[in-house]
Structure 1
Amino acid sequence: MRSPRAPRRRTLPAVVATAILAAAALLVPALPAAAHDELIGSDPSSGAVLETLPAQITLSYSADVLPDAGATVIEVTDAAGTSLTDGDPEVSGAQVTQALAGPASGAVTVRWRVVSSDGHPIDGEFAFSVPESSPTPTPSATTTASPVATASEAPSPAATTTEVTVPLESDAPASPLPWILLAVALVIVAGVLVYVFASRGPRNTAGRGGSGR
């Protein structure tokens, strides 16, 4: 014979489970949202191409950020890493404004860090760009040009004078001394020759006569 209490025991676990699910459904809407605040917009926007560097940038968040000193940090740098920020950022509810100053060209990077309404710090970065400007030429010192002398005023180089000695023609007759000396020499030579031949003649004659005897 079956016990009349068995059907009640089988339905008890199902009743308990249904009660737990119903309680959970009632408690879920009452739980606080676990998601943190986030950046929802910026001016200029990410990837924008501007003609010049704006006077300021504005960041908009999904909820108010803490305005405490040091809680909000905005860094804006150009392509060379030079800071473009001017002063501290200003917090107004869910918006943060940062003034900019200085020349910039090329990519401009914005890095931000704020403390959201739930006390949790959040950060991020984006970039926009401005056209690269040509470098401004540095004014050079004005050089006073000295007057250039004209061809007629320019000093001509000193002429190099080469002295050439030209033998002067003399109308006086040539000296006869060389010819006189030559004649004397010829006479002396002739006299020597005559003497030699004259001295040899008698000796040869005497020799021939002795041999005939």
Structure 2
Amino acid sequence: MTSRMAPRRRALPALLAAALLTVATLLVPALPAAAHDELVSTDPSADAVLDALPDRITFTFSADILPDQGATVIEVTDSAGASLASGAPTVDGSTVTQTLTGSASGPVSVLWRVVSSDGHPIDGSFSFAVPAASPTPAPTPTPTSAPTPSASATVTPSAIADPVATPSDTEQAASPLPWILLAVALLAVVGALVYLVTARGRGRSTGDRSAGTPGR
């Protein structure tokens, strides 16, 4: 009885180590694949109110952006829908720059789409505002027949348009694959433990019956 139980006891740590190694092997490559790069900041920032349209917009991401031609798209439009972008965007590592041209008055909308370092496309939008210029008041003429001083005109500056919308980045749902693999691995470990415990119990029962039977 002792000789038959000894190999099973020695095999138990080996099976547990193999099961844990299987879980680690399945989860370690799968977890990083569930996360994608994201937009860290922009210049100008979302909801900013500027004195004039800037000459460029700069995007900073959490990792390098793939510089494939046509993969990076930046659209910048004014309140009337006219394009303010000049030429194609420039990708330099984790930084993307889009040159602007012309002038704008009111909200400026920005739509962007890039391909992150893992090959997955990400996109989003934000806006900032450029105030409308205040009109120049016309001078009030002074009557020549009256010695009274001329009256000054009161000018009310135009209201500043509010930005359109706050930025909304596309959120990528995490893949359920790591959890499925973890569940499979845990089931394998539990199955192995149940088998060993059952086999050990059968071995003890057999030994007890053998000990109770008188020798001939």
TM class, shorter-length: 0.5 to 0.7
Structure-2 separation of matches of 1:40 and 1:134? 35
Q: CA deviation at 1:128?
A: 1.2
Structure-1 separation of matches of 2:79 and 2:10? 72
Indicate the SS of the match to 1:21: helix
Q: For 1:1-58, what per-residue CA distance to the aligned partner results, in whole angstroms no more than 9, with x for missing partners?
A: xx22246536644540233214544675566821222211110111211111111100
Structure-2 separation of matches of 1:84 and 1:30? 43
Q: CA deviation at 1:106?
A: 1.8
TM-score (norm 1): 0.54
What is residue 15 of structure 2 aligned with on the other side?
Answer: 16
Question: 2:98 corresponds to which letter in structure 1?
Answer: Q
Unpaired runs of 5+ in structure 2?
Answer: 138-216
TM-score (norm 2): 0.54
Structure-2 separation of matches of 1:55 and 1:69? 23
Structure-2 separation of matches of 1:79 and 1:136? 23
Q: CA deviation at 1:73?
A: 0.7
Structure-2 separation of matches of 1:125 and 1:24? 40
Q: Percent identity?
A: 57
Structure-2 separation of matches of 1:9 and 1:15? 10
- Number of residue pairs aligned between Structure 1 and Structure 2: 135
Question: 2:92 corresponds to which letter in structure 1?
Answer: S
What is residue 56 of structure 1 aligned with on the other side?
Answer: 56
Structure-1 separation of matches of 2:25 and 2:115? 32
Unpaired runs of 5+ in structure 1?
Answer: 138-213
Q: 1:135 to 1:83 in 2, by over 3 A?
A: farther
Higher Rg of the two aligned structures? 1
Structure 1 range deviating more: 122-131 or 13-22: 13-22
What is residue 206 of structure 2 aligned with on the other side?
Answer: none
Q: For 1:95-141, what per-residue CA distance to the aligned partner results, in whole angstroms no more than 9, with x for missing partners?
A: 1111111221222111111112222211111111121334789xxxx
Structure-2 separation of matches of 1:12 and 1:136? 92
Indicate the SS of the match to 1:127: strand
What is residue 47 of structure 1 aligned with on the other side?
Answer: 47
Structure-2 separation of matches of 1:30 and 1:112? 30
Question: 1:49 corresponds to which letter in structure 2?
Answer: V
Q: Which has the higher contact order (CA 8 A, sep 6+)?
A: 2
